[in-house]
Amino acid sequence: MRFMGWDLEAVLSSADPGLFGQLLAAAEKNRLAFRGDEVYVRGLIEYSNQCRRDCLYCGLRVSNRSLERYHLQAEEIIELGLAIYRAGITSIALQAGENSSDREVERIAGVVSELREKSMQERPPGLGVTLSLGEMTYRQYKRLYDAGAHRYLLRIESSDVQVFKRIHPPRQVYERRLECLHYLKDIGYQVGTGVMIGLPGQSYASLAADLNFFVEQDIDMLGMGPYIPHHDTPLAKARDYIIQDAFGTSIKMMALARLMMPDINMVVSTALQNINPEGLRLGVKAGGNVVMPVFTPQEHQAEYALYPNKETKSLESIRLEVESAGYRLCLSKWGDSPHYFNRQLAAGKKEGLA
Ligand code: 5AD
């Protein structure tokens, strides 16, 4: 698979530092030309680590009994969200383990609409709200959209069906995940997806196919990061790794994604920042233009353990790192994905022709 002279698989598997430098420089040039130097901020609230799923890689999996579970009250989430807004950050992301009961969805819809209303009263345009709550029914996604959420992140984890099967229990199926992504787009969300990089059994060809998957799915937002084994999960025992350098490969994936999809938003994942002190700097240089500082209450941060030793950085240290890379942190704008608007425009034109 090729893109503008780059052989995706060859670039991803190459250990040549010269090629790495060339790719990074091309991505940075493209990003500065099309998107400028702004890096948008989403204040992240991980409001519950209760999860019904049993993903073989994730510390929050229901079978992990050694994890203390927490679940923030609606009032607490609203207070946190408004405090983030008052600190000048205009967008938040609500993330939690999967609990898609109608009762829980209703509770969160209430949280979202109250956050939208109260923040709007304080100062327009109000809080931008991104959700990352896993798989739901069409009706549930629609309920949250109608409540005022406008972006949704749902990683495909790997678009390679064999890899997907390898890292999930049999009842969690690829087709269902894909269907959810289609629901989200149909409802009108800005849709984000992504993959983990360096999974057991995952090849460079799988990663090249992931990049094509993002293009084909016409996604608006992307979040990718290295897979970090968690000792309390079954996948930690795996030995069949093909990708040796998950960090360097993640940076290359970001750079290629930036070249292939100039108008999407791309987050510098916390996993990338956690496995390497250069993660944020290189992630931004490779084309990352969104960061998600953690605002989960201190006492619960360690319990949101997707992977071990998850560290959180203060907004100030994030700002310093972003600036040292030559970019600017932008709190005041929603920083929506231009791809979303370009996509709406294209759809409108098609309709006009029909
Ligand atoms: N290493 C890296 N990323 C992980 N995630 C879950 N577990 C891990 C891990 N062990 C990511 C998944 C999920 C997101 C919330 O966190 O991609 O979609």
The full DSSP string for 106-128 is HHHHHHHHHHHHHHHHHSTT--E
Ligand 1 in contact with 243 (CB < 6 A)?
A: no
Average pLDDT of the segment spanning 22-46 = 98
Nearest to 80 by CA among 121, 117, 47: 47
* Displacement of CA 92 from its chain's centroid (Å): 13
- pLDDT one-digit tens code per residue, 235-283: 999 999 999 999 999 999 999 999 999 999 999 999 999 999 999 999 9
Give the model's pLDDT for residue 3: 86
Query: What are the angstrom distances between the C-alpha of 108 and each of 49, 62, 341?
Result: 15, 21, 26
What whole-number distance in Å separates Cα of residue 140 and Cα of residue 171?
20
Cα–Cα distance, 170 to 180 (Å, whole number):
18
Whether 353 shows a pLDDT value over 70: the answer reads no
How much distance in Å is there from the Cα of 308 to the middle of ligand 1?
11
Angstrom distance (rounded) from CA 73 to CA 76: 5
Tell whether the model's pLDDT for residue 354 goes beyond 90. no
- The CATH number assigned to the domain with range 2-353 reads 3.20.20.70
At 229, which amino acid appears? P
With a 6 A CB cut-off, is 196 part of the ligand 1 pocket? yes
Paired tokens of 259: 């070249």
pLDDT one-digit tens code per residue, 305-326: 999 988 899 999 999 999 999 9
Choice from 46, 55, 57, 294 to test ligand 1 binding pocket (greatest atom count within 8 A of CB): 57
Range with the lowest mean pLDDT among 187-201, 280-294, 298-312? 298-312
Q: Give 111-165 pLDDT, tens digit per residue.
A: 999 999 999 999 999 999 999 999 999 999 999 999 999 999 999 999 999 999 9
CA distance 81 to 89: 10
Ligand 1 pocket, residue 247 CB under 6 Å: no
Cβ(58) – ligand 1 distance below 6 Å:
yes
What is the pLDDT, as a whole number, of residue 180? 98
In the chain, what are the domain boundaries?
2-353
236: nearest Cα among 212, 200, 290: 200
> Token pair for residue 41?
């901020």
Share of the chain above pLDDT 90, in %: 95
Q: What pLDDT does residue 351 have?
A: 73
